[in-house]
Structure 1
Amino acid sequence: MPNPFHLAIPVHDLAAARAFYGGVLACPEGRSSAQWVDFNLYGHQLVCHVVEGTRATSSAGSNAVDGHAVPVPHFGVVLDRPEWNSLAERLRAVATSFVIEPHLRFVGQPGEQATMFLLDPSGNALEFKSFADIEGQLFAT
């Protein structure tokens, strides 16, 4: 994967972060200490840092996008469709409470995509999306 990103996020509990990112999302764990842990989030480095008293309420706000209240801020990754479908099935199987259920948005328009939003145990909002043609649709206008 060219140019993987590095993202550091605040969490209130490393055990809960490990259960979610390592268990639910199946992200391999990398280095860690008593205050932080690295995860391989689909080839990208996600670092969960314990910040005492940190627990997001879900987001700072939201924006209306294609009939849904999209949490802001949020982060996530773009997956190929089979991987996205597999993740959506796995999340549904463990009764994930979605902020926005897995669905297609912008149907028939430039940028049509499969998307889903959820919160980690510390309230960080995540989006996972997929395009039928990532090269032609990711930045389509």
Structure 2
Amino acid sequence: MNVQPFHLAIPVFDVPLARAFYRDVFGLEEGRSAEAWVDFNFFGHQLVIHHHPKMPYQQAAGTNSVDGHDVPVPHFGVVLTWEQWEALATRLKAANTEFIIEPYIRFKGQVGEQATMFFLDPCGNALEFKAFKDMSQLFAK
């Protein structure tokens, strides 16, 4: 699968706090920056944190039920390799990350079986990271 990198800009109400989270907890490489924004290499994609007052969804996200869990909406993240996902889960646990949905296997034994986890950045943006042992299942019905 040949995928072009995406660009995603998200609001953060505390740039230094969010910068430390994405740089230190994730270990992301920092790119260009200014006082009000920072670029990150987000697993080969461009994530930009931009200073902005707190948004309503950053205080109390809505949810949808998926596989018996309340999934926060909106959310974003990356589909990683299985090994990357396991390493990230280990890294986040070691950093005492508070998970919305602890790392687990969703749709076990079904079409689309995947590893997934959900958590918030320090500014209330919900993130999901997932992995498939069989990437052909990414869009399977």
TM-score category by the smaller chain? over 0.9
4+ runs deviating over 2 angstroms: 52-55
Residue pair 1:58, 1:125 contacting (<8 A) in 2 also: no
CA contact (8 A) 2:29 2:41 kept: yes
Measured against aligned partners, the alpha-carbon deviations of 1:80-134 in whole angstroms (never above 9, x if no partner) come to 0011000000111111000000000100111000000000011000000000011
Q: 1:6 to 1:97 in 2, by over 3 A?
A: same
> Is the 2:12–2:54 contact (alpha carbons within 8 Å) kept by the matching residues of 1?
no
Q: Paired residue for 2:126? A: 125
**2-side partners of 1:108 and 1:58: how far apart?**
33
Counterparts of 1:97 and 1:115, CA distance in 2:
15
- Matched length: 139
Q: Which whole-Å deviations, capped at 9, do the CAs of 1:43-101 have from their partners, x for residues lacking one?
A: 00001000134471142x10000010000000000000011000000111111000000
* Other structure's SS at 1:2 match: coil
- 1: distance between equivalents of 2:78 and 2:60? 18
Cα gap change, 1:131 to 1:53, in 2 (>3 Å): closer
SS at match of 1:76: coil
Match of 1:2 in 2: 3
Q: Is the 8 A contact 2:40 2:48 kept in 1?
A: yes
Give unmatched runs, 5+ long, in structure 1. none
Task: Work out the percentage of aligned pairs sharing the same amino acid.
Answer: 60
Kindly indicate whether residue 109 of structure 2 is the aligned counterpart of residue 108 of structure 1: yes
Q: CA RMSD in A?
A: 1.2
Alpha-carbon distance in 2 for matches of 1:58, 1:91:
22
Deviation at 1:17, TM superposition (A): 1.0
TM-score in terms of structure 2 length: 0.95
Deviation at 1:35, TM superposition (A): 0.7
**What runs of 5+ residues in structure 2 fail to find an aligned partner?**
none
Alpha-carbon separation, structure 2, partners of 1:50 and 1:117 = 23
Q: In the alignment, is the contact (CA less than 8 A) between 1:58 and 1:71 conserved in 2?
A: no
